[in-house]
Amino acid sequence: MNKDEIGTKLYNIGVSYKKADVETRSAFSLSKQKQIALLKDAKSKGIDGVMVVSTCNRTEITGFAKHPFELISLLCEHSNGTVEDFVKFSNIYKSSEAILHLFKIGTGLESQILGDYEIVGQLKQAYQIAQKYGTINTYLERLMNSVLQASKEVKNQTELSSGTTSVAYAATQYIIENVENYNSKRVLVYGLGEIGKNACKNLLEYTENNNIHLINRTHSKAIEFSEVHQNIAINTFENLEVEIEDADILIVSTGSDMPTITTKNISKDKSILILDLSMPENVHKDVKSYENVTLVNVDQLSKITDKTLEKRTAEVPKAMLIINKHKQDFNEWVMHRKFTPAVNALKESLLAIQHDELDLHKKRLEGFNEEHAEIITSRMIQKITTQFVKHLKDENTSVNQSIDVVSKIFNTSL
């Protein structure tokens, strides 16, 4: 279906770290269950082609709509965010801007830490969920394939993701730079999602701390992880408060919609550094009221930069060349898909005229050379259709208007 024919455009709407602080992003954050509910709702409302990604740095919907408010309404209905806050802190991209934005997200150019490729996995997951629930149309499928191809090339052909820089890495760097005698401190990692796993791995790789402990709500996953990383001690969820009481540093990487660490989990006089890597924030803000608690969130950690980021910045022009190549290929596919039916219909109309005229002249003209006439008129048809294609490809052409004019002239259904 031609999107322009039904009056819809591609939009990308959402909030990200660029305008919204961690508290605002938390309000608009969508769990996997909420993402699925949003997709089902969108489908029931007749929105053709939509996907949603929600990470610690952004929550965005990409899809087709007559007006972006259709997508904004979906986001606000399924999250705790309000329309008023969305207006203050949002980004809205349309058509070519939305396409470029998606390419930049998929290649790490829009990551809070430049070149952080964790978003690529999250984008793939968002795409797969949308596919599963039937909200990916042909257009979005082709666009996402193009984005992922560009992402692969940028990663393989540039140094944009060189070095180790991520939120989990930044947490380790923060400890190294701000905690005296950090190798002797007792560290507790709570939560074993991808960020939690990376936090543990970074602590093992970049410190000499042999006092790292791990708790995960699903204990079997912690056991499985500790079998590979034997320098990490594990405990059960039931002993969380005991472990916190013994810890000097707590890294929270749980993936809950609600705070998993509150004032109930921590003694009032406890001295502890807490690094909250979760989104939405999983450490209740009231914890900051405790005098001896230092609480650091993802926004504060993302400010940590080093020479790695300087090197990555120098690679941005190379990444943009790759993006522009894939974006151009995608745009050509869109244009071809858009005007091929019109060109074919024009050609069929001209062939019908050719057939009628050859029949007429064969009857009227004695010695009429039908074969020669067919060769000449076929070449004329080819030249006319080729010229029409060139006209449609011209960036100054109003494709819909041109197709409409030709349709009326030749009485075709384009």
Catalytic residues: 56
Assigned token pair, 51: 């996907």
Of 91, 57, 58, 54, the residue nearest 72 (C-alpha)? 91
Separation between Cα atoms, residue 93 and residue 86, nearest integer Å: 14
Q: Could you write out the three-class secondary structure of 128-158?
A: HHHHHCCCCCHHHHHHHHHHHHHHHHHHHHC
In terms of phi and psi (left: phi > 0; alpha: psi -120 to 50; beta: otherwise), the region of 215 is: beta
Could you tell me the CA-to-CA distances from 283 to 227, 255, 278 in Å, in that order?
Answer: 28, 11, 8
SS3 387: helix
Inter-CA distances, 267 with 200, 290, 332, Å: 25, 9, 62
Strand-by-strand arrangement of the 293-296 sheet = 232-235, 212-215, 187-190, 249-252, 272-276, 293-296
Are the beta carbons of 23 and 15 closer than 8 angstroms?
Answer: no
Task: Give the DSSP H/E element, type plus range, for residue 349.
Answer: helix 316-364
Measured between alpha carbons, how far is 27 from 82 in angstroms, rounded to an integer? Answer: 8
Residues 214, 226: Cα–Cα separation, whole Å: 9
CA–CA–CA angle 8, 11, 16 (5° rounding): 165
Neighbour-count burial of 177, counting CB atoms closer than 10 A to its CB (0-12 exposed, 13-18 middle, 19+ buried): exposed
DSSP 261: B
Written as six digits, the tokens of 77 are: 């209905």
* Inter-residue contact 228 to 202 (CB < 8 Å): no
